[in-house]
Amino acid sequence: MDQRFRLFPEQASNLGRDVDQLYLFLWTLTAFFTLLIFVLVVYLGLRYRRRSEAMPPRSHVSNALEITWTIVPLVIVIGIFFWSTSIYVKMSRYPADAMNIYIIGKQWMWKAQHPAGPREINALHVPVGRPVKLTMTSQDVIHSYFIPAFRVKQDVLPGRYSYQWFTPTKVGTYHLFCAEYCGAQHSGMVGEIVVMEEAKYQAWLTGAVRDEPSAAAAGQKLFYQYQCNTCHGERAPTMAGLYQSKVQLSDGRTVVADDNYLRESILDAPATLVAGYPPIMPSYRGQLNEEQVNQLMEYIKSLKVPERNY
Ligand code: CUA
């Protein structure tokens, strides 16, 4: 890992250049106006100092001047607004083919779960050149998943999912930080992002998979262990094809069954009761940890069969 001091971290993702160009522009703009003001202060201070012969011209209102120094900054900041918004939009819309990895923050470590099975702590292995989406939540307080070399940083919140995505562009090992003060060991909540060639990544995945069931398989086990299967499909809605479909709730709302909906339904079923079903599902809050919720979600997502009977 790069331990040298540098003003800019390495650029190792598809978002790096966008962020750096904007940052460089803001930096140059600020430097330009700061210098301009300093030079003028010194120059005018000397030229019109008390014992100078030169007399300042009588001041008078100049509309042209007023309009100029209103319009020019206005155009500049509106430009910056659209520029930065376009980058923000790019960062918040993850590609449909992005590979999904679950991240859980807890005091004080980062856990990652690959859908294929492997879990890691304070590390994340990703292939180069493929878009990666992180589905992140926290087990306790607010953390923030920060990979400087990728120019991405996203808060990780307890009780809901947040996301970020990137396409690594350079093989290597990069810093991972927690960027939100989260308690005594916050500064130790660090790790490594390992970007590998596709073939090496597949080898790593296969090697790591050997002793881990896939996330969906682990979820399926939980599904039967908690006897979800005894109701779902009959007295409760089937899970097949549920993910990302529209659901009519008993309180009249229609919602999309996304990650946060599934999470709420698992942990707090009464709040998301589907129209036409009895309120028999208990709350599983406190019985399932974040990893298990993710595994159940992965299992539910894997049930793509469009045999919905409600
Ligand atoms: Cu986790 Cu700071």
CA–centroid distance, 46 to ligand 1, in Å, is: 51
**pLDDT digits 0-9 by tens, 188-236:** 999 999 999 998 898 888 776 566 677 778 888 888 887 777 777 666 7
- Does the pTM surpass 0.85? The reply is no
Q: Whose CA is nearest to atom 1 of ligand 1?
A: 143
- Identify the segments of the chain with pLDDT beneath 50: 307-310
Residue 208, pLDDT score: 65
- By the 10 Å C-beta count (0-12 exposed, 13-18 middle, 19+ buried), 99 is classed as middle
| Separation CA 290–CA 139 (nearest Å) | 6
134 Cβ neighbours under 8 A, 6+ residues apart: 100, 101, 102, 103, 145, 154, 163, 164, 165
Q: What is the atom index within ligand 1 of the atom nearest the CA of 180?
A: 2
Q: What is the atom index within ligand 1 of the atom nearest the CA of 183?
A: 2
Pocket of ligand 1 (CB under 6 A): 105, 108, 143, 178, 180-182, 186, 189
State the DSSP H helix or E strand holding residue 300, giving kind and residue range, or none if neither.
Answer: helix 290-302
Give 183's DSSP letter. S
Q: Which two tokens stand for residue 99?
A: 């590979």
Sheet strands (E) in the chain: 99-106, 109-113, 119-121, 123-127, 132-138, 143-147, 152-156, 162-166, 172-178, 191-196, 246-248, 254-256
> Side chain identity at 37, as an amino acid letter?
I
